[in-house]
Amino acid sequence: MSIRILLVDDHRVLREGLAALLRGEPEFAVVGEAGDGRVAERLARDLAPDVVLMDVGLPDLNGIDATRRILAVAPATRIIALSMHSEQRLVMEMLRAGASGYLLKDAAYDELVRGIRTVLGGMPLLDPRLAREVITQCLAQAESNGAASAFSLLTARQREVLQRLAEGRNVKEIAGELGLSVKTVETHRAHVMRKLRLHSLAELVRYAIREGLTPLER
């Protein structure tokens, strides 16, 4: 069954170009396109896409509020912010709104393709260039909630994978650094998320910082 994708961007040329690329992937089906947030909300409700690629700066209804509205009626939909904006406040607002990931528009096309598969697998997605800003914000908001230690819940290898995920590495980079296969890293990642009952990138980063697995400054 094809992965159903809704594209939301107010730049028609960019939107149509991306649609053409995605249609070249046999597993993807672009089921709709929208140039503003209100149309995106309506199409998401009517078309039930698996993934929405959402610009942040949209006319009529911005991408952050559109994300909240879409997820309120279709919580299983995965939303990836695809934006030219790298400002910390916008990244964090999109993640708080429920977006499963955030990529900058100048990311490589294969990063986007991998990202779609990543969020559909239940994993968070963050452009590595934004990791420092997210970590800074999460550190400022981190709360000690008495959860069990990462050193008692996770194996040493799982902690290595968690740290690198929190610092913005992708699966391929982690595999290369640790001398593992991509599939093995993906398995470790899934086990970490399940053991810690984490459901968002912000939670994962906040946990890693609180447990001392990753420093703010590198």
Hey, which bits of 35-168 come out as E strands?
A: 51-54, 78-83, 101-104, 125-126
Phi then psi for residue 193, to 5 deg, are -60, -40
- 135-210 architecture in CATH? Orthogonal Bundle (1.10)
pLDDT value at position 134? 73
pLDDT of residue 138: 63
Instruction: Give the global pTM.
Output: 0.65
Say how far apart CA 36 and CA 54 lie, in whole Å: 10
Superfamily of domain 3-126: Response regulator (3.40.50.2300)
What mean pLDDT comes out for the span 121-141? 77
pLDDT in tens, 158-186: 888 888 888 888 889 999 999 999 999 98
β pairing state of 101-104 and 28-34: unpaired
Query: How do the domains of the chain map onto residue ranges?
Result: 3-126, 135-210
Flag whether pLDDT at 146 surpasses 50. Answer: no
Quote the mean pLDDT of the chain. Answer: 86
Q: Which residue has the higher pLDDT, 199 or 124?
A: 124
Alpha helices in 98-149 (DSSP H): 109-120, 131-141
Q: What percent of the chain has pLDDT over 90?
A: 50
Mean pLDDT of 37-50: 95
Higher pLDDT: 131 or 201? It is 131
Query: Are the CB atoms for 86 and 107 separated by under 8 Å?
Result: no
